[in-house]
Amino acid sequence: MHTLFHRTWDTRTEQISILTSLFTSFTLQLANTFYAIKHTVRRPTPYNHSLAFCYVLYGASFIPLMLSTTPTLELGDRGQDPGDPNHGAYKAVQTLVRAWMVLYAVSTLGYLVLVQMRFRVVKAVWRYRDEWDWAFIGLTLAIWTTTTVLSVMSTSQPFTSAGWTLYALLIDHILSFSFIYSLYSVRRAAGGARQAQWKRVVTALIVICVVTWVCLGLLVIGNTAFRNDQGIRTLMFRVGYAFTPLEFSGALVFIYNAKSLVSPPEPPKQPPKPTPQLPRSKSVRTLEDVTAPASAMPSLPMSSLKSQATDVEGLKGE
């Protein structure tokens, strides 16, 4: 199977496939970034600024990958020896790889912390102590620091980067399924008022989980079944990375809809009714006479969440 695959996929085909997938995903990530920036312009909060910055960095991480694709495929396993005439090209590829690692590490750390911060809105329906939030973020920072230091100091960069990726994958799944489970009570309380928003958030969380498993599967296949073929490993890694903007798209849907989904809905605004102009000789009706009675106001869904709205109010700056 490996021989047949190798005969079918020559270097030129691999190069075209990789660059096409990376450019397509880069375009999708640009769309994600523009959407995040647009939201930041409308609501210029520190949270939104940080999120847009992370999306810019992650989009920039595609540039060194695209630039290093052709020389990586042409070099294969050559150039690692300092006496090799291709050593200069090999060093240039390593510089591009380090640039990618920096952009990837910084952007994914910020992204994961911001997703964890947004997850706090679930307190409106699922009570837990505030200390767990800080412990969660502290664990993320500790694992990120460890894997980053090991990536710089050791030669096993793919394995240490995979450790951080696996942790991010695990956290995405834990938060996604926990949030979906917690939202069932909100869905019942809201009735049909927020079904469309509910479906968007759940679909986004499912997309995040599925895409991360696809990326991980391609990475594992490339480093096991084709561990002796540099070209196929490069193809598997970059194609897997090309799927990740879909995860960032799902994260945008989750981040911008999660808070409003668990918040008690605001009462609908009633258009002001003009006060009738009556002659001075006649008595003028009071405001209570010309407005709708209280019984005519529509009942608010999710009224059971009003007592817990303070948890969400603290996040309005995000």
Asked whether residue 190 is assigned to any structural domain, the reply reads yes
247: CATH: 1.20.1070
Which structural domain, as residue segments, surrounds residue 46? 10-264
Q: Please state, in angstroms and rounded to a whole number, the distance separating the CA atoms of residues 76 and 73.
A: 5
Asked whether residue 310 is assigned to any structural domain, the reply reads no
pLDDT of residue 58: 92
Asked whether residue 314 is assigned to any structural domain, the reply reads no
pLDDT of residue 41: 92
Residue type, 275: T
Asked whether residue 277 is assigned to any structural domain, the reply reads no
Asked whether residue 55 is assigned to any structural domain, the reply reads yes
Which residue in this structure is represented by tokens 């009462």? Answer: 267
SS3 at position 202: helix
Asked whether residue 240 is assigned to any structural domain, the reply reads yes
Q: Please state, in angstroms and rounded to a whole number, the distance separating the CA atoms of residues 301 and 79.
A: 66
The structural domain count of the chain equals: 1
**pTM summary value:** 0.70
Are the beta carbons of 21 and 238 closer than 8 angstroms?
Answer: yes
pLDDT of residue 50: 92
Asked whether residue 194 is assigned to any structural domain, the reply reads yes
From first to last of its 318 residues, the chain has per-residue pLDDT tens of 444 444 445 667 777 888 888 888 899 899 999 999 998 999 898 988 999 999 999 999 999 988 988 888 777 767 677 777 777 888 888 888 888 888 988 988 888 888 878 777 666 556 767 778 788 888 888 888 888 777 766 555 555 666 777 777 777 667 767 766 666 665 555 555 566 667 777 777 777 777 777 777 777 777 677 777 766 777 777 777 787 887 788 778 777 776 666 555 555 566 666 665 555 544 444 433 444 343 333 343 444 444 444 444 444 445
Tokens read off for 175 = 């938060």
Asked whether residue 162 is assigned to any structural domain, the reply reads yes
Q: Please state, in angstroms and rounded to a whole number, the distance separating the CA atoms of residues 17 and 13.
A: 6
